[in-house]
Amino acid sequence: MTTTSQPPKAAPEKPTPEKPVDAQPAKREQAGFWPLVFGGGVAALIGGVATIMALPFLPASWLPEQQTAEIDVAAIQSNATSAAEAAADRRIQELQAQLQAVPTSDDATRDLAAMQQRIDAQAQQIDQLSNRPAFDPALAERLQTLTAQAAALENQIQTAAEQAQTQITAAQVEARKLQEAAEGSTRRAEAVAAIASLQTALDRGLQPDEARQTMEGVGIETPDALNREIASLGTLQSEFPDAVRAALRAALREESASGQGNVFTNFLRAQTGARSVEPREGNDPDAILSRANAEVEAGRIGNALTEMEALPDVAKNAQLMAEWTAKATAYRDAQAALSSLSAMSN
């Protein structure tokens, strides 16, 4: 089999790498950037297709050695096309990343709007300052005068208000004093009336409950002398003669037993109950009791008890006299308590 010798093929010339497109500074206008992106992609695609189309026409020495007799042009074209498309995709992605890093026109618009607002505000302030009226010294002086007059008037009003408040306070204090005095007078009048009613009740006989209710009604504490039953003046006057006779009998018996006086006369007097009905001088029991009897009839129970202090003990301790003395003492103490309350109320 005759083998046709072929000259050794030269190593295939490496395709000249495409010159990378210099990254241009990103512009703010998006309308100028997209043509650059699509132009680069189209250029890469054209370069790949041109390479594929030129391969069949290259000299044999430029082609790589093949193990087979035939060259798979379709495979080469497919690989070249894929490589070109991949290079184009990478370039597009790089350009898109650069595009995203560039500030958008919306951000710039907002910045410009904020600056414009500040400028407008400053212009408005300038207009306000320009529209202010010119300084008038006469007007300023007039304003100062009016201000001083207003301050003086305010001071006068404040002083008048303080004086009026002082007068009102003094009037209120005086009114309270008058009210307290009136209330005190009313209380005193009520107390005097209550005491007078008790003094009247004392003459007819006073019960503890009556006295206590009367005293509490006028806000007065009931004295101890009024917290017990008290005999009426009429009772004391009607019971005194029997008490006197009992006291005289006891005194006459004591004299007879001691050998003093006339025994027969003393016996007759004791039996008959004879006694002096008119007050007379003397220190004997009959004379003392005659003066006490006059005081009792006059309603002066306290004076009667004072006279009877000179009686001998045997006369004082006679049962009827002792009972009468206890009743008379309660009556006298009640009178004294009411007199003391009356003096305090006046």
pLDDT digits (tens, 9 = 90+) for 156-214: 899 889 999 999 999 999 999 888 888 878 887 888 888 788 888 787 777 778 878 88
Q: Which of 14, 15, 20 is nearest to 91 (CA)?
A: 20
pTM, two decimal places = 0.46
3-class secondary-structure state, position 185: helix
Could you tell me how many residues make up the chain? 346
- What averages of pLDDT result for each successive group of 10 residues across the chain (346 residues)? 38 42 42 57 62 59 50 65 76 74 64 78 74 72 86 88 91 89 82 80 78 79 82 92 90 67 48 67 89 93 94 92 95 88 73
**Which stretches of the chain are DSSP H helices?**
34-54, 73-101, 105-131, 137-204, 208-217, 233-258, 263-272, 285-297, 301-308, 313-316, 319-345
pLDDT in tens, 281-324: 988 888 899 999 999 999 999 999 999 999 999 999 999 999 99
For residue 190, with 0-12 CB atoms within 10 Å meaning exposed, 13-18 middle and 19 or more buried, which class applies? middle
Residue type, 203: D
- Decide if 338 contacts 199 (C-beta within 8 A): yes
CA distance 171 to 164: 10
- Which residues touch 54 (CB under 8 Å, ≥6 apart)? none
Give strand pairing partners of 206: 230
**What pLDDT does 82 receive?**
77
Taking the CB of residue 249, how many other CB atoms lie within 10 A of it?
A: 19
